[in-house]
Structure 1
Amino acid sequence: MTTTSRSPRLLLLSTVLLAVTGIALLGVPHGQEPPAPATATASTAQVTTNSSSAAAPPPVGEPTAGTAGSPTPAASTSSANVSALPPRGEGTAGDRAVQRNLEAAWPADLPAGDERKLLTAGRALLRADATGVGRAQWPSVFGDSGQAVAPAFATARFRIQAMIARRDGSPDRAVVHLVWAGMDRGGTFTDLRITDWFFTRTTAKGPSTWTPQPRT
């Protein structure tokens, strides 16, 4: 009787104690948990220090071991000495640069009067050759003016970009060097085209004149 009457009380007391203990444990703040062992803290700090050292970049100005430095490209040095031409397709904005390059590469060597005459003739010859306009003025160059010849380039899209006149190995021989742009019959527009017209000086009667030579 005594044992049987005490067992429910012991069970009830045990249950209450367990419940109180659980409530007490749940009420402990998270920040008051026992600190981690000193050994674990020390090893964690050491790993963190080693990781920071490995990730840190080398000092500025000192190359990393096993890597080569970055020398100045040789191309940038050599290109500084080369006179640059404008890129293709730049339009009339680049024509002045083309003219400057021509004059710098081939200094003038003709009297100013002769140079003007040659440039005027060279311009007219190139236009006649490319567009067909004015070919009758040059029968010795283009042959029979009555023969219909389809122009290779559209007149509206023809432009001389630069030109010079220089001696061609003799005071009585000259060449007009032209750089030009145009659209062909197929609709393709191309600039920086090059054409040379050669002239000889004739002094039979009166003032000397420059006669264009037929294209070969």
Structure 2
Amino acid sequence: MTTVPRSPHLLVLSTALLAVAGIALLGMPPGHPPSAPAPPRIAQATTNPSTTPPTPGRKPAVTLAAPTTVAAGTPPVVTSHLPPHGEGVAGDRSIQRSLEAAWPADLPAAEERELLTAGRALLRADATGIGRAKWPTVFPDGSQAVAPAFATARFRIQAAIARREGSPDKAVVHLVWAGLDRGGTFTDCRITDFHFTRTTSTKGTETWTPQSPT
């Protein structure tokens, strides 16, 4: 039993398709079967540097993670590619540029300099033990609290920035550094953050005070 198409438009379309197919078969030379359809064209894939395996023998690029503490209102931080580990002093400038590009400046120049000076001194005191007595709130027992973990001669601050931390009265100093530990292992691209709060003295003088570690 033949089923009649429900729609006149469908009937016309079916008839037209059958007619076209019949004409094509009649017009084909005998002994020549219909050619197979051409395979679909595949676009040539482009190489993505982020997924290409590294060349053997070449050190992979180090990616510096953005500061972990990002307060509300802080611009998103862009991860930047840094020189390979072991690049030495020659790579420090690239690290500094990467930090500055990832986290744009948002402090007055004078305040940023004050915070950077304090942050560098704190890091040196923490890593090598030099100058701990200057920071009694951070090192309450002075230089005897914790033995220096890194040798002074091989300690180096590679890059540093100071930025606001969600409030005009709070800031963080983000430092990247290298050092030789007591076990004789030298490691660069270490990351340390020091947090500061703006305080006002009884004489009305404002200064940045490091927060005690928790």
What runs of 5+ residues in structure 1 fail to find an aligned partner?
A: 1-64
Secondary structure at the aligned position of 1:142 is classed as coil
Specify the code of the residue in structure 1 equivalent to 2:102.
A
Residue 206 of structure 1 and its aligned partner are, at CA, apart by: 2.8
Return closer, same or farther for 1:146/1:175 CA change in 2, 3 Å cut-off. closer
Following the alignment from structure 1 to structure 2, what is the Cα–Cα distance between the partners of residues 170 and 183? 36
1:97 match = 94
Specify the code of the residue in structure 2 equivalent to 1:156.
A
Secondary structure at the aligned position of 2:49 is classed as helix
2:33 match = none
**Kept in 1: contact 2:79–2:102 (CA 8 A):** no
Structure showing greater radius of gyration is: 1
Secondary structure at the aligned position of 1:140 is classed as coil
Following the alignment from structure 1 to structure 2, what is the Cα–Cα distance between the partners of residues 157 and 136? 22
Higher helix share: 1
Percent identity (aligned): 74
Return closer, same or farther for 1:69/1:87 CA change in 2, 3 Å cut-off. same
Following the alignment from structure 1 to structure 2, what is the Cα–Cα distance between the partners of residues 173 and 104? 21
Following the alignment from structure 2 to structure 1, what is the Cα–Cα distance between the partners of residues 143 and 155? 23
- The TM-score, its normalising length taken from structure 2, stands at 0.64
Answering whether residue 98 of structure 2 is matched by residue 124 of structure 1, we say: no
Specify the code of the residue in structure 2 equivalent to 1:191.
D
Residue 84 of structure 1 and its aligned partner are, at CA, apart by: 2.5
Indicate which of 45, 66, 72 corresponds to 2:46.
72
Return closer, same or farther for 1:146/1:104 CA change in 2, 3 Å cut-off. closer
Residue 154 of structure 1 and its aligned partner are, at CA, apart by: 0.3
**Kept in 1: contact 2:130–2:143 (CA 8 A):** no
Aligned residue-pair number = 149
Following the alignment from structure 1 to structure 2, what is the Cα–Cα distance between the partners of residues 147 and 95? 32
1:213 match = 211
1:163 match = 160
Residue 214 of structure 1 and its aligned partner are, at CA, apart by: 1.3
Specify the code of the residue in structure 1 equivalent to 2:144.
Q
Residue 147 of structure 1 and its aligned partner are, at CA, apart by: 2.9
Return closer, same or farther for 1:175/1:133 CA change in 2, 3 Å cut-off. same
Secondary structure at the aligned position of 2:82 is classed as coil
Following the alignment from structure 1 to structure 2, what is the Cα–Cα distance between the partners of residues 195 and 152? 14
Residue 75 of structure 1 and its aligned partner are, at CA, apart by: 3.2
Following the alignment from structure 1 to structure 2, what is the Cα–Cα distance between the partners of residues 203 and 102? 30
Following the alignment from structure 1 to structure 2, what is the Cα–Cα distance between the partners of residues 193 and 206? 37
Following the alignment from structure 1 to structure 2, what is the Cα–Cα distance between the partners of residues 159 and 151? 15
Q: Which aligned pairs between 1:104-115 and structure 2 lie closer than 5 A?
A: 104-115=101-112
